[in-house]
Structure 1
Amino acid sequence: MATVVGLMRGEFWLWTAVVWSPPSFVPYVQPEPYGTVTIVTLLVAAAIKALFLWLILRAPRPGPLSGRERALRRLLYLAVAYSLILWWPFAVLPDEVAAVVQLIMWGAIDVLLLLVIRWRSRVLRAAAGVMFAIQILVMVEDLLDELDIWEFGWNDVAWWIYIAVCAAATVLTVVGQWRDGRWSRGTLIAGWLSLISFAFDFPIITFFEPPTSAWLASMVVSHVLGLLGVVWNAATAREMPVAAGHPVAASSRRRWGWGHRVALAAVVVLPMVVVIQPEQNARHTFGGGSPDCYSRPSFGDLKPEEREPVFLCLARNRDFGQPPMFPDSLPDQAVLAYGRALCRAKDRTEKEALLRQAGSARAAWGVDDWDLVYVCPEIVAKSQPHLLRSSEQMKADERDHIAEKNARCRDPWPRTKGVVQATANYFLFVDGDPGYVVTDAADHGVMDEDVMGELYKKGNETGLGVTPGTVLVGHVADVSDVCITVKAFRKAPPPRTAGWYSVHEVPITSRSGTLKVPEMDGGEVGAGAPMPNLAIRGKGRYRLRVYVRVTKSEEEEHLVVVFPGRSRKQLALKS
């Protein structure tokens, strides 16, 4: 009925009715109509699937069941329901959940098949046990891969070996069912036919590239052939009770001895033993990449369990093409052990020796305490306690530091009030910052090549780099910060050059109506307090006068005076 409705509604609904899922991938493969081959294949598949559903939904054979047989029947029916329906809700859950369900369900089914089927041959049962164990191993590997713990890294050879193992497991199980005698010929035929899906899916689809219209048809055929295994599982569960005329197996309670328990434990535990590798192997089990360590979180912001993962992340950091601190061949626990040894090292030479021993590609770089604090805070705290602070503590300390620096700066013209004015410490870039700028907003406050070139132009002894909208003011002493006072006046104030090392006056133009000294604003460079707009008359031409001196305490002071003026001359009032 669903197929007829789908045929009447259109290709989308026909595909959904037959395949039982929307054709989400089909428009990307074939945006055009499906074609006659695909339509015919869908109709034939609908008829075959109706037959399969009738076989799957047949009532179970009545009869007594042992505890293991009852458990196997229920699990097989659960596997059938998962293949037909339950996969859909599981598709919206994390992949890890589906991997766990598959491992538990099929692991238990494989173990119970070994115990329930009367194999009548130890060699046959042992061979089936090996095949089942390999299948369980692969499911464990899939789960570990989904959890980002370990990945096998499949290649074509390994994949084909696994397919051969699955086919062999099917063959051995069907042979075991035949030797048991309780399953009908139809069930055995369904088991043998389920091998066709391996023969179709992998050799044909892998080695041949049919045209697009035939590709869609092959997808439908593959889907139908995959149901042969579902029919076989349902028939195996349905015929679980012993048929009339066959001897009843001994009670599971009487046969469940220590030997069976050891065998069951071996089947369940041994695959895990094989998969879980020794600790000394290069496995990154600690999850070093879990925190956002590349932004280097403050030690005080981390929970105790987050600190070592941050060190692992930093130790494997490859930013800007640099080699990591430790090679990837070392497992996480070994990296942590080397980190603690580095904390106990007496000097840089001993640290370099430890890094070379670990195989580090950057042993000569050494390692800093701000990296080691995450593994040995108790040692780092003795020499650098500030590294243990939280980000809030660091911000508070930074605010206190800025306030202290600003407090030491004084207004050199306290009795001459400007229309706007401010006094603050200007923090320079430590490694060779030439100075600071007074700049128009249209110039974005940057030290471009033009203004830098003017500052270092041959014969320029003013210490200023002048361009129309920006003036770069250089410092004369080897300092990392400068006390700066800015004042804006409506007209030119008296020169008052006494007590100053140099006084220069230059033109500056404001195209936007805003002239300012850049502020720190959360950075490391700039004025430590809000700076006023010195263009008090808006857009236009101004004069900028810069006073510079170095105090007896080797601190540098600057006074920047701005007032309206149309002159384009550069004046040296004192030099």
Structure 2
Amino acid sequence: MAAVVGLVLGDAWLWAAVEWTSPVYARFYVDGEFGTATVVALLVAALVKAALLWLILRTPAPGPLDRRTRVLRRLLYLAVAYSLVLWIPIGMFPDAVDVAFQLVLWTAIDVLYLLVIRWRSRMLRVVAAVIFAVELAGIADELLDELDLPEIGSGYVFGFGMMLGGVAATVITIVGQRRDGRWSRGTQIAGWLSVGDYALMIAISVLFRWDFYANPVAPVVTDVLELVSTVWIAATARELSVGGRPVGLPPARQRAVRIVVAAMVVLPIILLIHPEQTPHLTYTGGSMDCYDRPSFGDLKPTERDAVFLCRTRITADGMPPLFPDSLSDQGILGYGRALCRTKDRDEQKAILTRAGSERPAWGADPWDLVYICPEIIGATNPELLQSTKETEDAGAAYVAEENAKCRDPWPRTKGVVQATAKYFLFADGDHGYLVHDPKVEEVEKAAEQATDRLYDDNTLVGAFDSAVLVGHLEDVIDLCLTVKAFRTAPPQRIAGWDQVTEVPVVSRSGHLTVPEADGGEVGAGAPMPNLAIAGKGHYRLRAYIRMGKTGEEHLVTVFPGTSRKKLKLKP
């Protein structure tokens, strides 16, 4: 009935009625009207899910229960409730809460399975315990991942093994049900169907890499398949109190079960078959998860192709993608590996032109190609193979090395506060660096005015209110900077310096400092002190500049002073 109402109200409501989710989610799968295949799949799924829901909601079989069996039944029905509705409110919490709930629930169920099921074999019970432990280890590993803690294992093989552990847990439970004798043949068949569903979904994810966003029929089919395991869990809970002999199905129901089994096995496989000319598109230019650029070293080998597909299909700042959306995943990967083997831009342009690129003359960048041919790109750009942490560590080591090259030009004249570090400028040229009050509201305006005044004369120092911009003699990308704050004016000591200039500066908040790089590309390579040691008020800033053995060297001294004059002390 709900599906019929949804069919009348529109595609989004039909989706909500069948998939039991908000109508908004329909737009994640189809941007526009549903195709005929999608509508038919939804209507068929509605009938199948209605039949499965009827099986789930059947009342428990009467009969006495001991304490363990009663607790197991309640926990199984809790698992059923989670599968149907509880996942919605639990999904409002962080993912770690959901995984922790699953771990606690299935740990209790597995322990009670070992105690309640009559295995009739000590060895079989031990095997079941081991398999259940593997299943729970997979859930625990997922919880550790959600909590950003060290995982039990990693990699494709481990993940696939954990997935098979869940399938094995279902199989061993069905074997135990058969040996116990309390569960009917229909319940056991539902269990084997759920095993077949697991196997089918593993085949889909591993062999076919089915893209849910490209084919809306896929999530409809998998949603129905997942409900079969819920039927088995509900049937297991319902028949816990049945006596020792299995209950057989009537002949008519046996035939119906065979038809359902055949349909559920064959129909999903048919849906996987596409015409050869249909491209498989994992991502499109508008895929939101393609705007991140993970470091190569942070990715598993199985994830690298997907990142390359993202990077070459992304449309950012109005720029067309490297490859058109009409080109299949395998086509893009093939052209990408061919680009790795090119020797110059002309060869890249020829390949991109054949691929139908809208920007063939731009070529392909090594930081994109590294994901599919690291052995080639890494030979000339080894830094592209690093993880985020390795990149950060390398950057920190470089900054520390550069800082060590700088020396205090006045080592015997100690300031109240002082620091020496390498100051990094923009690689393509920069006016200089600021000494400013970063906490005033109009700090940017003051910096602009100071920049304008930098070129009023040849002193290389521009000052305005709470900002002073100090320029540089040569066209450099970094320089050695020492800053010192004094309570009174220090000696001038202009000998050995190329230029010395003194200007006024105001601290309105009690702060004067130099910007730090702090993970960026521009700024001081070490923490800079607050030079306004007397608090709010007027100060004098004296800038010393020269070319030394380590390159360009700067010394900035700050001390209280009310003079508003700009003094050119040297030359």
Scaled by the length of structure 1, the TM-score of the pair is 0.55
Which of the residues 301, 323, 326 maps onto 2:323?
Answer: 326
Structure 1 residue identity aligned to 2:568:
A
Structure 1 stretches lacking a partner, 5+ long: 1-23, 26-73, 95-139, 154-238, 243-250, 253-259
Residue in 2 that maps onto 1:452:
451
> Equivalent residues in 2 for 1:172-321 (5 A)?
269=266, 272-273=269-270, 276-278=273-275, 280-285=277-282, 292-321=289-318
Shift of residue 381, structure 1, vs aligned partner: 1.5
Asked whether the 8 Å contact 2:503–2:566 carries over to 1, the reply is yes
The alpha-carbon distance between structure 1 residues 339 and 564, as it changes in their structure 2 partners (threshold 3 A), is same
Residue in 1 that maps onto 2:525:
528
Residue in 1 that maps onto 2:188:
none
Q: Aligned with 1:519: secondary structure?
A: coil
Residue in 2 that maps onto 1:147:
212
Asked whether the 8 Å contact 2:539–2:561 carries over to 1, the reply is yes
Residue in 2 that maps onto 1:37:
none
Q: Aligned with 1:515: secondary structure?
A: coil
Structure 2 residue identity aligned to 1:438:
V
For the pair 1:495 / 2:492, whether they are aligned, the reply is yes
Shift of residue 283, structure 1, vs aligned partner: 2.4
Asked whether the 8 Å contact 2:281–2:329 carries over to 1, the reply is yes
Residue in 2 that maps onto 1:475:
472
CA offsets, 1:53-105, max 9 Å, x none? Answer: xxxxxxxxxxxxxxxxxxxxx999647557999999635569xxxxxxxxxxx
User: Using the alignment, how far apart are the partners of 1:502 and 1:470 within structure 2?
Assistant: 20
Shift of residue 290, structure 1, vs aligned partner: 8.8
Residue in 2 that maps onto 1:90:
84
Residue in 2 that maps onto 1:559:
555
The alpha-carbon distance between structure 1 residues 364 and 310, as it changes in their structure 2 partners (threshold 3 A), is same
Shift of residue 354, structure 1, vs aligned partner: 0.8
Residue in 2 that maps onto 1:67:
none
User: Using the alignment, how far apart are the partners of 2:425 and 2:498 within structure 1?
Assistant: 20
User: Using the alignment, how far apart are the partners of 2:321 and 2:470 within structure 1?
Assistant: 41
Asked whether the 8 Å contact 1:289–1:313 carries over to 2, the reply is no
Asked whether the 8 Å contact 1:282–1:328 carries over to 2, the reply is no
Residue in 1 that maps onto 2:371:
374
CA offsets, 1:264-306, max 9 Å, x none? Answer: 9899757844663245522214899999552311111111111
Asked whether the 8 Å contact 1:291–1:306 carries over to 2, the reply is no
Report the identity percentage: 54
Q: How many residues align?
A: 352
User: Using the alignment, how far apart are the partners of 1:429 and 1:357 within structure 2?
Assistant: 38
User: Using the alignment, how far apart are the partners of 1:468 and 1:389 within structure 2?
Assistant: 45
Q: Aligned with 1:441: secondary structure?
A: coil
Asked whether the 8 Å contact 2:286–2:314 carries over to 1, the reply is no
User: Using the alignment, how far apart are the partners of 1:382 and 1:517 within structure 2?
Assistant: 39
Shift of residue 321, structure 1, vs aligned partner: 1.5
Shift of residue 397, structure 1, vs aligned partner: 0.8
User: Using the alignment, how far apart are the partners of 1:75 and 1:509 within structure 2?
Assistant: 74
> Equivalent residues in 2 for 1:24-35 (5 A)?
none
Residue in 1 that maps onto 2:539:
542
Range with bigger deviation, 284-293 or 480-489: 284-293
> Equivalent residues in 2 for 1:288-437 (5 A)?
292-437=289-434
Residue in 1 that maps onto 2:167:
none
Structure 2 residue identity aligned to 1:563:
F
Shift of residue 432, structure 1, vs aligned partner: 2.4
Q: Aligned with 1:382: secondary structure?
A: helix
User: Using the alignment, how far apart are the partners of 1:78 and 1:528 within structure 2?
Assistant: 65
User: Using the alignment, how far apart are the partners of 1:146 and 1:344 within structure 2?
Assistant: 29
Shift of residue 151, structure 1, vs aligned partner: 3.9
User: Using the alignment, how far apart are the partners of 1:397 and 1:146 within structure 2?
Assistant: 38
Asked whether the 8 Å contact 1:325–1:361 carries over to 2, the reply is yes
Shift of residue 422, structure 1, vs aligned partner: 0.9
User: Using the alignment, how far apart are the partners of 2:267 and 2:439 within structure 1?
Assistant: 72
User: Using the alignment, how far apart are the partners of 1:77 and 1:424 within structure 2?
Assistant: 73
Q: Aligned with 1:277: secondary structure?
A: coil
Structure 1 residue identity aligned to 2:367:
W
For the pair 1:569 / 2:565, whether they are aligned, the reply is yes
CA offsets, 1:451-470, max 9 Å, x none? Answer: 222224xx422212211100
Asked whether the 8 Å contact 2:538–2:561 carries over to 1, the reply is yes
Which of the residues 428, 437, 449 maps onto 1:440?
Answer: 437
Asked whether the 8 Å contact 2:283–2:313 carries over to 1, the reply is no
User: Using the alignment, how far apart are the partners of 1:484 and 1:326 within structure 2?
Assistant: 47
User: Using the alignment, how far apart are the partners of 1:392 and 1:333 within structure 2?
Assistant: 31
Residue in 1 that maps onto 2:221:
none
Shift of residue 521, structure 1, vs aligned partner: 1.4
User: Using the alignment, how far apart are the partners of 2:420 and 2:530 within structure 1?
Assistant: 13
Asked whether the 8 Å contact 2:454–2:461 carries over to 1, the reply is yes
Asked whether the 8 Å contact 1:544–1:563 carries over to 2, the reply is yes
Asked whether the 8 Å contact 2:403–2:421 carries over to 1, the reply is yes
> Equivalent residues in 2 for 1:14-163 (5 A)?
78=52, 90=84, 147-151=212-216
Shift of residue 311, structure 1, vs aligned partner: 0.7
Structure 2 residue identity aligned to 1:326:
F
Structure 2 residue identity aligned to 1:561:
T
User: Using the alignment, how far apart are the partners of 1:329 and 1:419 within structure 2?
Assistant: 66
User: Using the alignment, how far apart are the partners of 1:418 and 1:274 within structure 2?
Assistant: 77
User: Using the alignment, how far apart are the partners of 2:86 and 2:211 within structure 1?
Assistant: 15
Asked whether the 8 Å contact 1:289–1:309 carries over to 2, the reply is no
Asked whether the 8 Å contact 1:145–1:151 carries over to 2, the reply is no
User: Using the alignment, how far apart are the partners of 2:540 and 2:211 within structure 1?
Assistant: 68
Shift of residue 530, structure 1, vs aligned partner: 1.2
**Bigger-Rg structure (1/2):** 1
Structure 2 residue identity aligned to 1:354:
I
Structure 2 residue identity aligned to 1:455:
L
Shift of residue 448, structure 1, vs aligned partner: 3.9
User: Using the alignment, how far apart are the partners of 1:292 and 1:75 within structure 2?
Assistant: 32
User: Using the alignment, how far apart are the partners of 1:403 and 1:441 within structure 2?
Assistant: 25
Structure 1 residue identity aligned to 2:84:
F
User: Using the alignment, how far apart are the partners of 2:268 and 2:373 within structure 1?
Assistant: 37
Asked whether the 8 Å contact 1:464–1:471 carries over to 2, the reply is yes
Q: Aligned with 1:461: secondary structure?
A: coil
Scaled by the length of structure 2, the TM-score of the pair is 0.55
Shift of residue 479, structure 1, vs aligned partner: 0.5
Structure 2 stretches lacking a partner, 5+ long: 1-20, 23-47, 60-79, 89-203, 219-249
Structure 1 residue identity aligned to 2:466:
G
User: Using the alignment, how far apart are the partners of 2:276 and 2:282 within structure 1?
Assistant: 9
Structure 2 residue identity aligned to 1:306:
E
CA offsets, 1:364-403, max 9 Å, x none? Answer: 1111111100000011111111110111111111111001
Residue in 1 that maps onto 2:111:
none
Asked whether the 8 Å contact 1:443–1:470 carries over to 2, the reply is no
The alpha-carbon distance between structure 1 residues 398 and 293, as it changes in their structure 2 partners (threshold 3 A), is farther
Residue in 2 that maps onto 1:171:
none
The alpha-carbon distance between structure 1 residues 88 and 531, as it changes in their structure 2 partners (threshold 3 A), is closer
CA offsets, 1:490-512, max 9 Å, x none? Answer: 11122111111111000001111
Q: Aligned with 1:320: secondary structure?
A: coil
Structure 1 residue identity aligned to 2:556:
V
CA offsets, 1:425-474, max 9 Å, x none? Answer: 00111122211100013237647432222224xx4222122111000111
